[in-house]
Structures are given as structure tokens and as C-alpha cells.
A = this chain, B = another copy of it.
């Protein structure tokens, strides 16, 4: 769509929008603005409003729990929990590698132990093993009240950056 069509479609959506649609549109547009302002490098990170940091040998990412990431039962979609885990464990792997190396996920396993509900999800990734060719990490996802909702381990292959 061109710009006129995009504005027209936004208008149409707004005419039919319920409260939840308004909330979702707000999140999506704010995410796009963040991406335009180069605050986050990927659209998916921007749309999830992910905020990551490395602190005391852990890499952590938080995302707000919004209707965008929930399944039909208002529980966070397991794939989003997986996205959070992959991002945090990958963030940790890149943090401990020198600038000329990158890490590619080769496998991930996730145990889902409680439903993803609450105001936000926080994920914490820690190192299990660093070898010459591979990195193995652990990741945990918590509700804002501290309840564990998922545990994961993943392997990364270390490659040279192009």
C-alpha cells in the first residue's frame, strides 16, 4: 500500500476498533517508531518492545505482556516465550564472543511449566559451557511475580562474521 492507502486503512481499522484493537495498534505503531529511531535493530524486537541488558554474567530481556503475544486463551503464545529465550540466550552468546565472531542457534529445548500471564515476562540467560566451536546456555522465563514459566537449554555454533 502507498501512504494514502495506509492512512485510509488505519482510519478503517479505527472505526471498527474495540479497546483491545486500540491497545494493539498503539503498541505496533510505537514499536515502528522505535525501529525508525534505531533504538532497536529488528522489527520483531521493536514490536515486542524488548529491553535487554547484560548484568552479572547473565543476559536478561523483558517484554510487556500484551494482547499481541497471547493465544486465543489470553496466555502468552509458547512461540513468543521461545522467541524471548532464543533472543536472551543468543544475546548472552554474542556478549561473550569477540567482535569478529557470531553465534548461530543450532538447537533449543524448552520445558513449559506454568502459563505465561501477568504484566510482563522477564528472561534470564546463563552460560553452561563455552567451547572453541560451540556454546551451551540455559534460559529461564519468569512472570513479574517471580513464578517460573519456562526453562530452556540451547546450543550455539560459533562462526566467523562475514
Query: Which A residues lie at the B interface, using CB under 8 A?
Result: 1-3, 6-7, 9-14, 16-17, 21-22, 24-26, 28-30, 32-33, 35-36, 41-44, 47, 67-72, 77-80, 82-87, 90, 104-114, 128-129, 131, 133-134, 136, 138, 148, 151, 153, 155, 157
Contact = CB atoms under 8 A, between A and B. Distances in A.
A91 to B, nearest CB: 11
Contacts of A129: 111, 113-114, 148, 151
B7 A7 contact: yes
Nearest to A71: B42
Contacts of A106: 111-112, 134, 155
A105 B149 CA distance: 12
A157 to B, nearest CB: 7
Residues of A contacting B: mostly: helix
A3 B16 contact: no
Contacts of A24: 32, 43
26 contacts: A1-B22, A1-B29, A3-B22, A6-B25, A6-B26, A7-B11, A9-B30, A10-B29, A21-B32, A41-B72, A44-B69, A44-B70, A44-B80, A78-B82, A79-B85, A79-B86, A82-B82, A83-B83, A105-B112, A106-B112, A108-B109, A108-B110, A113-B136, A128-B148, A134-B157, A151-B153
